[in-house]
Amino acid sequence: MISDLPLRKIIHVDMDAFYASVEQLDNPELRGKPIAVGGSSQRGVVAAASYEARKFGVRSAMSSVLAKRNCPELIFVKARFDRYKEISQKIRAVFYEYTELVEPLSLDEAYLDVTINKKGNPSATLIAKEIRSKIYDTTGLNASAGISINKFIAKVASDINKPNGQKTVNPEEVIQFLEELEIRKFYGVGKVTAEKMYKLGIFTGADLKSKPLDFLKQHFGKSGSYYYNVVRGVHESEVKPHRIPKSVGAERTFNENLSSEIFMLERLEHISNELDRRLKKSDIAGKTITLKIKYSDFTLNTRSKTLPYFISDKALILETAKELLYQEELQNSVRLLGISLANLNTDKKEKTKPETDTIQVQLKFDF
C-alpha cells in the first residue's frame, strides 16, 4: 500500500560526521585520526565523532569519560559553531541551485523536494549525485543522500550507504524495502522503543506491518498510527521551506551538580535571560512553560504549566519556572536546568498558511 496522494521526488542530504569532518578539513594533522568534537572534562559530552572514532563505539551525546574509555587515543577538539554555520550556508546555497523547497533539519542535513526543479532534470538520483559532487567541490566535505517518494523513506535511505554514498528507493521498491528493514533503522524508533518492539516480536518492517492498528495504538499510543502508516509507505508530510518552531528554549549544564534550590534559582534567572533574548529575536510568545531538570544520575524530569494567554515577558516566565521548581521535591542533585516555551502564537500562523499547489505525478516516473 502506498498513499493515493501524488508521489514526490524527495532527497534527504546528510553530511558525513559534519563537525568532526570540518575539524579534519581545517587541520590536516587530525585527518585519519579518531577525534571527538566536544569537551574532554569529566562532565563533557561528545557533540560529534569522526568515523575513525566511531569504530571504537564513540557516538554523539556520549559522555567524554566513556568515549575516552572506549578509545584511549581519542583526540578532543573544541566546537567552533561559527565555522560550522559558515560552511552550512555554502551547502544550502548548493541546494537552492536546484529547488526552493528546502527544509533544513540542522546545520548538516536537509530535505529537498525536486519533483519540479530548477535544472529540469527528471532524475532525483542524478540530482542527488550532482549535489553531493558540488558540495565536495565547494567545501571539500563528503555528503550522503537518500532518495525516494517521501521524507521518511528518504531519511532512512540516506543512512544505507554512508559515508559518501547514496541510496534510491524507487516507487515499486518501497514496500519490499520497508518490509526487509530492521526495525531499529526506522526513523523515529529509538533504543527504548526498539527494545519494546523486540519484546512484542517486532524485529523487521514485515513484523511491524503484520500488527493491526489497534494493537499498535494500544502499545505505542499516538505513535502507533505513525508506525502503521510509514511501514506501508505512507508519510504525507511535505517539505516545508520555512519550518515554524514548536517551542523555544534555553538550558545549561553545570560544572558542578547543584543540590540547593537557592543556587538553582540564580541559574534559572540566567537561563530566562537567554530565553528572553531568543523570544525577542523571533517575536514569539507562548502559553506553555516547561521546566527541564536533569539529575546527576542522568534521569530527566519535566514540569509544565499552561496559561490561558500568550506570554513572552521574562519576569512572568521566570516566576512560573520557579513555581514549577517548587512543585515537587528534587530527587537528586541537578546537573542541568532548562526552560522552554511552547503552544506558540506561531502555531496559528502555520494553520492559516495557504495550501501549496498539488503536483500531479504518475506512479511510474524516473528516480
**72 prior amide bond cis, ω within 30:** no
**pLDDT score, position 313:** 87
**pLDDT score, position 86:** 95
Residues assigned a catalytic role: 109
Residue in the structure block whose three cell numbers are 566511531? 54
**pLDDT score, position 363:** 40
Task: Name the CATH superfamily, with its identifier, for domain 247-351.
Answer: DNA polymerase, Y-family, little finger domain (3.30.1490.100)
Cβ atoms of residues 131 and 24 within 8 Å: no
- Give the whole-angstrom CA distance, residue 85 versus residue 87: 5
Cβ atoms of residues 291 and 321 within 8 Å: yes
User: Against a cut of 0.85, is the pTM above it?
Assistant: no
Q: Could you give the percent of the chain with pLDDT greater than 70?
A: 92
Q: Do domains 18-80 and 178-230 have the same CATH topology?
A: no
Class for the domain spanning 10-17+82-173: alpha beta
Class for the domain spanning 178-230: mainly alpha
Going by CATH, does the domain composed of 18-80 fall within 3.40.50.970?
no
**pLDDT score, position 3:** 53
pLDDT tens digits, one per residue of 147-204 = 999 999 999 999 999 999 999 999 999 999 999 999 999 988 888 899 999 999 999 9
Count CB atoms within 10 A of the CB of residue 247: 14
Name the stretches of the chain with pLDDT < 70: 1-6, 243-244, 347-366
- Give the whole-angstrom CA distance, residue 246 versus residue 37: 28
**pLDDT score, position 283:** 82
Cβ atoms of residues 137 and 130 within 8 Å: no
**pLDDT score, position 348:** 55
Count CB atoms within 10 A of the CB of residue 327: 11
Segments making up each domain of the chain, as ranges: 10-17+82-173, 18-80, 178-230, 247-351
Residues forming a β-bridge with 306: 288
**212 prior amide bond cis, ω within 30:** no
Cβ atoms of residues 77 and 37 within 8 Å: yes
**pLDDT score, position 87:** 96
C-alpha distance from residue 94 to each of 61, 70, 136 (Å): 29, 37, 11
Residues in Cβ contact with 210 at an 8 Å cutoff, skipping those fewer than 6 apart: none
Angle between helices 261-282 and 314-325 (to 10 degrees): 140
CA dihedral 151, 155, 156, 158 (to 10 degrees): 130
Residues forming a β-bridge with 271: none
